[in-house]
A and B are shown apart, each in its own frame.
Chain A
Amino acid sequence: MVSTATDGAGRASSQAAIPDGQGDLLSIDDLSVDFVSVDGRVRVLDGVSLNVSKGEVVGIVGESGSGKTTLGLGVLGLLDSPPTEIVSGRVVFEGRDLLKLGQEEMAKIRGTGITMVFQEPLDSLNPVYRIQSQIQESIEVKWKRGHSGVSQPSELESKEVMLSLLKDLCIDKPDEVLEQYPHELSGGMRQRVAISMSIIEKPRLLIVDEPTTGLDAYVQNRILGMLSDLRKAGGTLLYITHDLTVASQVCDRLYIMYAGRIMEVGKTRNVLEDSLHPYTHTLIASVPQGYEDSPELPVQLGEPPNLAMLPSGCKFNPRCPYVKEVCRQKEPQLAEVRPGRYAACWKVDGADGEYSRD
């Protein structure tokens, strides 16, 4: 059952770049988040705007320190304060600003509204309970949220639901798996159990954070296949990954992140075939192709960004092969460079002629 929130007020009507789609499910608007510690304040997300429409698979691609996981946690309201502090912005989900909700209301959205699958499934499974009782918990949450008049599913009914779900997730012997403890399962199996717990609640938005990192290619592809089945069934996904190849398989649109900022947005096809931002070039060029006799990979030297010591101007400028004076002085904003294509880069920014004047 999909229950839509009633109040349509507070819909983001920002002038900030909100590319494609209307963001009728989730729209993040100018979100900035700081980590505060004794050493000072570090900005981990800076003016991030993003939106997701119903039935869409949106990918957030970035390397370590780009803020992609923080973004996911921020949507779920799981950023602890301290150390995190939300400086500005809105996270509008079905018309309601999640940042303004109290803990109790937020808890009601988690699970059936928005759910997240984390990178390390062992962290989200309880080691001392059998798989069955862990999935059971999700079923009970789903039932409690739902629908007066429907009696609580009996143990037998719940088990039926679990078995058919695990079978859908391509698990060979679901009845055996239900009796096992998390440590008895392989990594791929655990991840599928974690995913099953999330989708049994039928969330209206599923956030997955690097669900296939550390799994071998075969298992990874099965999980990706499963996620694309989910999309075909009408599910909405926010897919967080560092791996552009993986993102290219499942996502409709990509947001490329670097140093807490969105660098490029576009349809997956466009971003891959005709990338605008030099950082996206780097990501694409980094995928090894060909054999031993191929030339060196066309990437620049440089280190991942240190958020505590970011350069002035464009944050990618120390690693950018096309850097000019303007890039060191002024930070480019995300702008619609071509119809439906957004990038934060002086080189491709048509409006400001400073790059070409330099």
Chain B
Amino acid sequence: MEQMGNTVEIEHLTVSFRSKRRTSLFRGNPRVKALDDVSLAIRERETFGLTGETGSGKSTLAKVLVGLYRPTSGTVKLLGREIDFQNKRDVAYLRQNVGIVLQDPVRSLNPRLTVKEIISEALVASKSVPKSKYNERINFITHLVGVTNDLLTRTPRELSGGQRQRVSLARALVVPKKLLVLDEPTSALDVSIQAQVLNTLKRLKSELDMSYLFITHDVNVIKYVSHRLGVLFYGRLVETGDVHDVASDPKHPYTKKLISNVLTLNQTQLQSEAISEHKPAPTGCRYRLVCESAFDRCAEVPPAVDLGSGRLVSCFLYDGVSPRVGARGA
């Protein structure tokens, strides 16, 4: 494989669902776009952080990458191979190479199996590891993620939240993967346990030759784990770039607001300014209804403007045509 290639390339990915609310007798229910024209690439050995608030489509993206949702349009390429989501063999290939860890470790582990059974189930299902290697592989991975041997005979309900999440990690990784998707893996954990899991991830990153997609709404966590960062707002990727750049100098008005609201241990000045609901705009830039710098062009869909060094911002403020500071309704 070439140097620093891309593990995953997602281009113009749109996923839409039928809304439950019927608006017309004659037409079908309207479609809701959970992801709208999202393009991103995850490089080899890279951790890509994806953040955004509830309902921004973070988990939808995770589920597409393991073949649980089919794209409505757009392409997903894994190691250069385009995935046809209608084709069972392609979906199997996807799952063979992409592991996933979900937020709720209780609901994602079978309560009737022991930890060892849960982990080896993945091996049996994948068929890519010879049977004679099962134990070796289980030992290797449980040691790596910190599942001690005495846990192997227990069932999930006998484990703490942190231990369950380690078991989820072991199950996802027992078959060697190219990409690990972590969907809010620490949000259900206590802070001190979250710190332990983050440390484990850090160790995994140096040991395993893999890419990671880390999804969380917690900006402190995402800064700590990722190389690059993407920010979603109601299904659209509004900004991507190197995590240092985005965190220290956010460009998109939404990213600015997100970063400025990150709390640290030091007391900051809290303001109780008028809060507006984040109603996304139905057309054009989704953020324009709440954006302070919105102007008339925002009624169109903003293109992803390339600011150099991998920095993409979907905002008319940066496309060089419009005035830098636009007044609303001017």
User: Are the C-beta atoms of A216 and B198 separated by less than 8 Å?
Assistant: no
* Chain B neighbourhood of A299, CB < 8 A: 192, 195-196, 199
B252 interfacial by beta-carbon distance below 8 Å:
no
Partner of A171 from B257, B262, B273, B275 at Cβ < 8 Å = B275
* Chain B neighbourhood of A288, CB < 8 A: 195, 198, 220-221, 223-225
User: Which of A83-91, A92-100, A149-157, A279-287 has 4 or more CB atoms under 8 Å from chain B?
Assistant: A279-287
User: Are the C-beta atoms of A228 and B270 separated by less than 8 Å?
Assistant: yes
A49 interfacial by beta-carbon distance below 8 Å:
no
* Chain B neighbourhood of A220, CB < 8 A: 261, 263
B267 interfacial by beta-carbon distance below 8 Å:
yes
- The residue of chain B having its C-beta at the shortest distance from the C-beta of A216 within the complex is B53
User: Are the C-beta atoms of A297 and B277 separated by less than 8 Å?
Assistant: no
User: Are the C-beta atoms of A225 and B272 separated by less than 8 Å?
Assistant: yes
What total count of A-B pairs have CB within 8 Å? 137
Q: Please list 29 pairs of residues, one from A and one from B, whose beta carbons are closer than 8 Å in the complex, sorted by A's number.
A: A63-B191, A170-B275, A171-B275, A172-B276, A186-B277, A217-B219, A217-B258, A217-B261, A218-B261, A221-B270, A224-B270, A225-B271, A225-B272, A225-B273, A226-B272, A249-B267, A268-B267, A272-B266, A283-B191, A288-B198, A291-B223, A292-B47, A292-B226, A297-B195, A297-B199, A299-B192, A301-B146, A302-B196, A304-B192
User: Are the C-beta atoms of A242 and B191 separated by less than 8 Å?
Assistant: yes
B300 interfacial by beta-carbon distance below 8 Å:
no
User: Are the C-beta atoms of B220 and A249 separated by less than 8 Å?
Assistant: no
Report the Cα distance A221→B247, complex, angstroms. Answer: 18
Assuming the contacts A249-B268, A297-B199, asked whether A292 and B227 have C-beta atoms less than 8 A apart, the reply is yes
B274 interfacial by beta-carbon distance below 8 Å:
yes
Report the Cα distance A283→B193, complex, angstroms. Answer: 10
Report the Cα distance A228→B191, complex, angstroms. Answer: 24
Partner of A245 from B194, B195, B203, B263 at Cβ < 8 Å = B263
A188 interfacial by beta-carbon distance below 8 Å:
yes
A356 interfacial by beta-carbon distance below 8 Å:
no
* Chain A neighbourhood of B243, CB < 8 A: 291-292
User: Are the C-beta atoms of A172 and B270 separated by less than 8 Å?
Assistant: no
User: Are the C-beta atoms of B191 and A286 separated by less than 8 Å?
Assistant: yes
Q: How far is the CB of B34 from chain A (nearest CB, A)?
A: 17
Assuming the contacts A225-B272, A226-B272, A291-B223, asked whether A246 and B263 have C-beta atoms less than 8 A apart, the reply is yes
* Chain A neighbourhood of B268, CB < 8 A: 249
B264 interfacial by beta-carbon distance below 8 Å:
yes
Interface string of A215-250 (1 = CB under 8 A from B): 011111110111011000000000000111110111
Task: Please report the total number of A residues contacting B with Cβ < 8 Å.
Answer: 51
Per CB-CB distance, the 7 closest pairs between chain A and chain B, nearest first, are A225-B272, A288-B224, A286-B195, A63-B190, A225-B270, A216-B53, A217-B261
* Chain B neighbourhood of A246, CB < 8 A: 263
Interface residues of B in 200-251 (CB under 8 A from A): 202-203, 217, 219-221, 223-227, 243-244, 247
Q: How far is the CB of B56 from chain A (nearest CB, A)?
A: 9
* Chain A neighbourhood of B1, CB < 8 A: none
User: Are the C-beta atoms of B262 and A217 separated by less than 8 Å?
Assistant: yes
- Pick from A170, A216, A225 the residue with the most CB of B within 10 Å: A216
- Interface residues, chain B, with chain A CB atoms under 8 Å away: 47, 53-54, 146, 160-163, 190-196, 198-199, 202-203, 217, 219-221, 223-227, 243-244, 247, 257-258, 261-268, 270-277
Q: How far is the CB of A305 from chain B (nearest CB, A)?
A: 10
- Besides A225-B272, A272-B266, 7 other A-B contacts (C-beta < 8 A): A172-B275, A172-B276, A217-B261, A221-B270, A291-B224, A292-B224, A303-B193
A290 interfacial by beta-carbon distance below 8 Å:
yes
Assuming the contacts A172-B277, A226-B272, asked whether A296 and B199 have C-beta atoms less than 8 A apart, the reply is yes
Report the Cα distance A48→B274, complex, angstroms. Answer: 39
* Chain A neighbourhood of B267, CB < 8 A: 248-249, 268-269
- The residue of chain B having its C-beta at the shortest distance from the C-beta of A219 within the complex is B275
Partner of A244 from B202, B221, B265 at Cβ < 8 Å = B265
Interface string of A305-318 (1 = CB under 8 A from B): 00000000000000
User: Are the C-beta atoms of B265 and A245 separated by less than 8 Å?
Assistant: yes
Interface string of A189-206 (1 = CB under 8 A from B): 100000000000000000
* Chain B neighbourhood of A222, CB < 8 A: 272-273, 275
- The residue of chain A having its C-beta at the shortest distance from the C-beta of B49 within the complex is A292
Q: How far is the CB of A136 from chain B (nearest CB, A)?
A: 23
Report the Cα distance A292→B163, complex, angstroms. Answer: 24
Assuming the contacts A303-B162, A304-B160, asked whether A294 and B224 have C-beta atoms less than 8 A apart, the reply is yes
* Chain A neighbourhood of B261, CB < 8 A: 217-218, 220-221
User: Are the C-beta atoms of B275 and A188 separated by less than 8 Å?
Assistant: yes
A332 interfacial by beta-carbon distance below 8 Å:
no
- The residue of chain A having its C-beta at the shortest distance from the C-beta of B202 within the complex is A296
Partner of B190 from A170, A189, A216, A242 at Cβ < 8 Å = A242
Q: How far is the CB of B160 from chain A (nearest CB, A)?
A: 5
* Chain A neighbourhood of B266, CB < 8 A: 248, 272
* Chain B neighbourhood of A55, CB < 8 A: none
A289 interfacial by beta-carbon distance below 8 Å:
yes
* Chain B neighbourhood of A303, CB < 8 A: 160, 162-163, 193
Report the Cα distance A284→B271, complex, angstroms. Answer: 24
- The residue of chain B having its C-beta at the shortest distance from the C-beta of A297 within the complex is B195
* Chain A neighbourhood of B193, CB < 8 A: 63, 303-304
User: Are the C-beta atoms of B277 and A189 separated by less than 8 Å?
Assistant: yes
A187 interfacial by beta-carbon distance below 8 Å:
yes
- Pick from B54, B190, B276 the residue with the most CB of A within 10 Å: B190
* Chain B neighbourhood of A291, CB < 8 A: 223-224, 243-244, 247
Partner of B191 from A172, A189, A244, A302 at Cβ < 8 Å = A244
Q: How far is the CB of B217 from chain A (nearest CB, A)?
A: 6
A126 interfacial by beta-carbon distance below 8 Å:
no
User: Are the C-beta atoms of B198 and A297 separated by less than 8 Å?
Assistant: yes
